[in-house]
């Protein structure tokens, strides 16, 4: 099917599926990955058997236990999941060099140029699914379309173990009957605003006059309508490794002083945030690295609901991730890294009704300009004054900390905070 060359591959209930594959006695049982039923963490993944009880990712484990008392609760095993993910990516690269890994359990690839060797997009999708199933014992849902946006929606439409092909020229008709919240960038607030115009489906949004969308949503309105029509010019990456920005700080003397640890995390977050802004990108994931006096190193990461380049938001997530790692220990090294970098703005049409974030952005831009002209020490946060913490730009490594191990978070995300599950 010439033209439909973008494939979105999404592994089904990935963490739970790996557990069921490796432990045959769990097949057909409701498996919940994230920790114990009485823990304060959240669900990282739920098998489809568990989802029938209403268990979902990011749900508190205690809620999941109440909904599914017969569920098998397991801790996250990042080593096995990363190994399985890497094996899947190797399969994808057999069919195209243009593979962009979106997360540990999904990727998008452009197979244009591979058709002479492997067949059209649909044939390649079938071959990929067969290879993942036959070689790895896992299932994947695949969407095939002319754009990554439509392919993503297609892969999610009939999970699990599904193949959905959207032929060229049918994108708008394919999207039209789907509920509006399936469209990227449409959250609860945007959905509510569109309901004022009687819009509940993607097709109704596509039919809405552009001038109405522009009046209501400003410059964000026309792109929203374009996506509703299946238009997405975003190219597939060339298979480059995910980039990251990070800073580390090694203490002169191992410390268990919480004030020192807090100031250090703030300084590291400031350095990471400045580099993000300088590069015109935002972080989709924040990771922390903690090395204690016995040289034991621990890492934790969290995917953010909205990418950020704000030091306060990075520091908040990092502090929460680090809290259980520094408790009762003497710390030798701290590090913060930002990964999942993107230069795309996620739609947040009503996230700043009083303009507070916009004013903060302007103030931050002005501060950055002063630092560029007069040096990083020209403007310093009050919390870092006389704190004995060197500016990361002046002293610490600018290489990212080692790839974080996937692990269960000790607590659910704070209300209203920038936290989530990967």
How would DSSP label each residue in 176-226? Answer: TTSBGGGSTT--HHHHHHHHTTT--BHHHHHHS-HHHHHHHHGGGHHHHHH
CB 70 within 8 A of CB 30: yes
3-state SS, residue 300: strand
- 207 & 101 share domain: no
- 137 & 218 share domain: no
Say which CATH number the domain at 102 has. 3.30.70.270
6 - beta bridge partners?
A: 110, 145
- 215 & 325 share domain: no
3-state SS, residue 8: strand
Q: Kindly state whether residue 86 falls inside one of the protein's structural domains.
A: yes
- 48 & 119 share domain: yes
CB 314 within 8 A of CB 338: yes
Give the pLDDT confidence of 65-101 residue by residue, as tens digits: 999 999 999 998 988 998 999 999 999 999 998 898 8
* Domain of residue 223, residue span: 172-228
CB 38 within 8 A of CB 408: no
Per-residue pLDDT at 361: 66
State the DSSP H helix or E strand holding residue 32, giving kind and residue range, or none if neither: strand 31-33
Q: Kindly state whether residue 415 falls inside one of the protein's structural domains.
A: no
Q: Kindly state whether residue 26 falls inside one of the protein's structural domains.
A: yes
Say which CATH number the domain at 307 has. 3.30.1490.100
Give CA angle at 186 (7, 207), nearest 5°. Answer: 85
Per-residue pLDDT at 357: 60
Q: Kindly state whether residue 44 falls inside one of the protein's structural domains.
A: yes
Q: Which residues are catalytic?
A: 106
Per-residue pLDDT at 398: 33
Q: Are strands 72-74 and 31-33 parallel, antiparallel or unpaired?
A: parallel
Per-residue pLDDT at 419: 28
pTM for the complete prediction? 0.60
CA atoms within 13 A on the CB side of 60: 11
3-state SS, residue 190: helix
- 146 & 185 share domain: no
Give the pair of three-digit tokens for residue 285: 């994931």
Instruction: For residue 101, give Cα distances in angstroms to 87, 161, 293.
Output: 12, 19, 36
- 317 & 203 share domain: no
- 182 & 306 share domain: no
- 83 & 206 share domain: no
- Pick the closest to residue 131 from 144, 118, 120 (CA basis): 118
Contact residues for 69 (Cβ-Cβ < 8 A; gap 6+) = none
Q: Where are the alpha helices (DSSP H) in 4-77?
A: 14-22, 48-51, 61-67
Q: Kindly state whether residue 234 falls inside one of the protein's structural domains.
A: no
Per-residue pLDDT at 144: 97
CA atoms of 215 and 219, how far apart (whole Å): 9
Q: Residue for token digits 């002046």? A: 394
Per-residue pLDDT at 354: 59
Per-residue pLDDT at 122: 95
- Pick the closest to residue 291 from 270, 271, 261, 313 (CA basis): 261
φ, ψ dihedrals at 194, nearest 5°? -65, -30
CA atoms of 286 and 338, how far apart (whole Å): 5
3-state SS, residue 54: coil
Which of the listed residues 132, 165, 198 is the one where a domain comes to its end? 165
- 277 & 179 share domain: no
Q: Kindly state whether residue 420 falls inside one of the protein's structural domains.
A: no
- 272 & 156 share domain: no
Q: Could you say which residues of the chain have pLDDT below 70?
A: 1-2, 238-243, 344-422
- Residue 107 gets which letter from DSSP? E
Q: Beta-carbon neighbour count of residue 55 at 10 Å? A: 24
108 - beta bridge partners?
A: 8, 100
Q: How many domains does the chain have?
A: 3
CB 303 within 8 A of CB 285: yes
Give the pair of three-digit tokens for residue 14: 């990935």
- 4 & 124 share domain: yes
- 106 & 155 share domain: yes
Q: Kindly state whether residue 102 falls inside one of the protein's structural domains.
A: yes
């Amino acid at each position: 099917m010439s033209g439909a060359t973008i494939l979105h591959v999404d592994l089904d209930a990935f963490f739970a599926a790996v557990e069921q594959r490796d432990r045959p006695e769990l097949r057909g049982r409701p498996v919940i990955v994230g920790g114990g039923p009485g823990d304060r963490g959240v669900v990282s993944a739920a098998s489809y058997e568990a989802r029938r009880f209403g268990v979902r990712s990011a749900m508190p484990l205690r809620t999941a236990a109440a909904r599914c008392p017969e569920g098998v609760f397991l801790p996250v095993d990042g080593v096995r999941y990363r190994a399985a993910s890497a094996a899947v990516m190797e399969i994808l690269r057999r069919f195209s060099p243009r593979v962009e890994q979106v997360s540990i359990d999904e990727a998008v690839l452009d197979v244009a140029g591979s058709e002479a060797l492997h067949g059209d997009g649909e044939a390649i999708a079938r071959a990929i699914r067969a290879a993942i199933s036959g070689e790895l014992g896992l299932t994947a849902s695949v969407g095939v379309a002319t754009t990554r946006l439509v392919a993503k929606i297609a892969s999610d439409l009939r999970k699990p173990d599904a193949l959905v092909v959207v032929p060229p020229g049918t994108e708008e008709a394919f999207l039209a009957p789907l509920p509006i919240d399936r469209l990227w960038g449409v959250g609860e607030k945007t959905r509510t605003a569109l309901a004022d115009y009687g819009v509940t489906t993607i097709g109704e949004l596509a039919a809405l006059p552009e001038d109405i969308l522009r009046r209501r949503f400003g410059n964000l309105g026309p792109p929203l309508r374009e996506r509703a029509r299946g238009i997405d010019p975003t190219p597939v990456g060339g298979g480059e490794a995910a980039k990251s920005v990070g800073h580390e700080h090694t203490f002169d003397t191992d410390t268990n002083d919480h004030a020192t640890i807090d100031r250090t995390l703030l300084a590291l977050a400031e350095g990471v945030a400045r580099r993000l802004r300088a590069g015109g990108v935002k972080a989709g994931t924040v990771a922390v690295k903690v090395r204690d006096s016995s040289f034991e190193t621990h890492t934790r990461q969290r995917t953010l609901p909205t990418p950020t380049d704000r030091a306060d938001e990075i520091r908040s997530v990092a502090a929460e991730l680090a809290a259980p790692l520094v408790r009762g220990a003497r710390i030798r090294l701290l590090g913060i890294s930002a990964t999942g970098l993107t230069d795309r703005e996620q739609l947040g049409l009503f996230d700043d009704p009083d303009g507070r974030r916009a004013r903060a952005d302007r103030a931050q831009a002005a501060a950055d300009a002063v630092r560029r002209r007069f040096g990083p020490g020209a403007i310093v946060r009050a919390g870092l004054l006389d704190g004995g913490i060197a500016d990361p730009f002046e002293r610490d490594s600018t290489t990212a900390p080692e790839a974080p191990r996937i692990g269960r978070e000790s607590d659910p995300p704070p209300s209203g905070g920038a936290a989530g599950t990967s």
